[in-house]
Chain A
Amino acid sequence: MIDDTPVEILLVEDNPGDAKLTLRTLIKSKIANRIDHVNDGQAALDYLFREGEYADLEPIAGLRMVLLDIKLPKVDGLEVLKRIRDNPRTTNLPVVLLTSSKQERDIARGYELRANSYIVKPVDFAQFADAVKNLGMYWLVLNTPPQARPGRGSTHSMVV
């Protein structure tokens, strides 16, 4: 079911425990071959738009999903999401929000900003791992991304 194309996920997570365990889950479940991880919202924006310390890197090409914690240092997750949606290069990039508690306000705002899904991180990490695996599978493998619309100079190179 999973093809061999190397896919990339960006994990934006400030908590080292959560980050480590999430990365391990994604790697172990073979959803992604390469996952990049940043610790805060500003780093996420720099990474996505190749600015700041990421300015010299190749443009993001194979990125297929962002796992984005809502509660982040510097720039919070919902703001990062808004900037992703506002930028034509990333506007259709699947973004899955991670949240610690069922804060309905955050979730509603997330959907307004066209978040693709959200996962409430439960205390039981095993449940979280299952949710991440399932969503990763859905957004990376099963979901057909929208086609780049002609005439907009689209650079949907991340769309395979």
Chain B
Amino acid sequence: MLEAAPDAMLAIDREGKIEVVNQQVERLFGYSREELLGLKIEVLIPARYANVHVGHRSKFFADPLTRPMGFGLELAGRRKDGSEFPVDISLSSVVSKLGPLVVAAIRDITERRRVEDRALSLQQELREKAALVDLAHDAILVLDPADGTIRYWNQGAEALYQYSATEAIGRIGGDLLKRVAPTSFRELVARATEADHWDGRLQHTTKGGDKLVVESRWAILRDEAGGPTGILEVNRDITARLRAEDSLQEANELLEARIDELESFSSSVSHDLRTPLRAINGFVDVLVEEAPDQLNAEALDALAEIRGNAIRMGQLIDDLLAFARLGMHDLEKRDVDMFHLAKRTSEALMKLADGRPIDLTIGQMPRCHGDPSLLEHVWTNLLANAIKFTAGRLPAVITAGAEEHDGRTVYFVRDNGVGFNMAHAGKLFGVFQRLHASDEFEGTGVGLATVMRICNRHGGTAWAEATLNEGATFYFTVVGGTHR
């Protein structure tokens, strides 16, 4: 009977002496039957348990109920070679001609333990993955590909849609979330199956009734044969982003409308303010032409003043409008050869010198990234100023170039002109600020304000250093200036 049993079986007597063993015992423990018979059972137990075992054994004989041994304990057997292995043992008692015996059925559970351990670690891994999935801010769902029944619902989904996993799982996803999609569920699944995933925007409604727009990605989960077993749906709420984009676009449209308004305002200002000035000039000319005999020198002088002032006001209007327009348009940035820009500008400006000798040097300078037409404006303003304020210097010396200050490229225009008192330097770059009387030097007081504004729009700035009657240096930076 014992030989037929699949498990290793042995019987011991009250003293723990092995009385019966089957073949499986021989195989399991590496002893022959002859070796085992008559030995104490403790020979098959790891030494560290052997002493305790003697006690257990006596108790069992006192209360011999059939039961698994060491329930909840890790049991181990010891082979002849000393190696140990996990075992499962159940005990029963029999009364034989040898007296009462305890029969132990011993099963090697090495393989089972291995499987269990593997299952445990898989479970652990799964738990960790699930925790990760729950950590994600995205709502993650698994749907049944056949009918869209929700099978999994992470914490992100709970947070986004306000339905708990218990409420959601088992419901049809599209119904629960009142899904509004570009096409039917069936079609979405078909597309996802074909391309392995589907990406798109969906509208969902939360438990509280809020409509959400989500960016949704559907991936197909497949079994080993490749058949679809589930739809993994990952949804990211983009409602707030879309709202922000909308309001940004509204703000942009408003801004563009304002700019258009401003532009048409400025062009009508330009038109309407210049027209009367032209009439003033024109009729002064008529007066001078038609009645030269009635006008004495003082009257002619007065008319010349009227003319001059009207023309100056026209210039002022033009400059102010140009200044106002500076802020309205996007910079068209490009790689700019500052050397050539300064050189070309200075050549065009030399006529302002009225033939006066000017020692002009344009030094080498790094290129920069900026709006060439605006940067040309900067050079024009600074070089024209230098020419203007060196009137009367013999020779006038003007140098344009670039230096490096604290790792930044600083462009400059230096002259040996009248300069200014540094105490007034703060006023230099304001609109309509002039440091010289207009009968000394002409100008509308907008030029340097324009320079500052252009530099600011490029992320740079402008400043000046000067000594009264010795000259001035105007510096400016353009962020993005690089050394070659």
Chain A residues with a Cβ under 8 A of chain B: 15, 17-18, 21, 24, 71, 100-101, 103, 121-126, 128-129
Contact = CB atoms under 8 A, between A and B. Distances in A.
Contacts of A122: 278, 314
List 9 tightest A-B contacts by C-beta distance, closest first: A123-B314, A17-B279, A125-B282, A21-B282, A100-B271, A101-B270, A125-B281, A123-B277, A125-B278
Contacts, number: 61
A33 B182 CA distance: 74
Interface in B284-305: 285-286
Contacts of A18: 275, 278-279, 282
A31 B307 CA distance: 26
B274 A100 contact: yes
Interface string B228-269: 000000000000000000000000000000000000000100
Contacts of A100: 270-271, 274-275
B285 A101 contact: no
A124 B313 CA distance: 11
B109 interface: no
B482 to A, nearest CB: 32
Given A122-B314, A123-B311, A124-B311, A101 B286 contact: no
Contact of A121 (B274, B286, B313, B321): B274
B82 interface: no
Contacts of A121: 274-275, 278
Given A21-B283, A100-B274, A123 B267 contact: no
Contact of A103 (B267, B274, B277, B286): B267
B165 interface: no
A22 to B, nearest CB: 9
Nearest to B272: A100
Contact of A24 (B274, B277, B286, B317): B286
Interface string B301-326: 00000010011011101000100000
20 contacts: A15-B279, A17-B276, A17-B282, A18-B282, A100-B275, A101-B270, A101-B274, A103-B267, A121-B275, A121-B278, A122-B278, A122-B314, A123-B274, A123-B278, A123-B313, A124-B311, A125-B281, A125-B282, A125-B285, A128-B282
B309 to A, nearest CB: 11
Contact of B275 (A17, A126, A129): A17
Nearest to A101: B270
B279 A21 contact: yes
Contacts of B283: 17, 21
Interface in B443-477: none
Contacts of A128: 278, 282
Nearest to A106: B267
A123 B310 CA distance: 7
Nearest to B277: A123
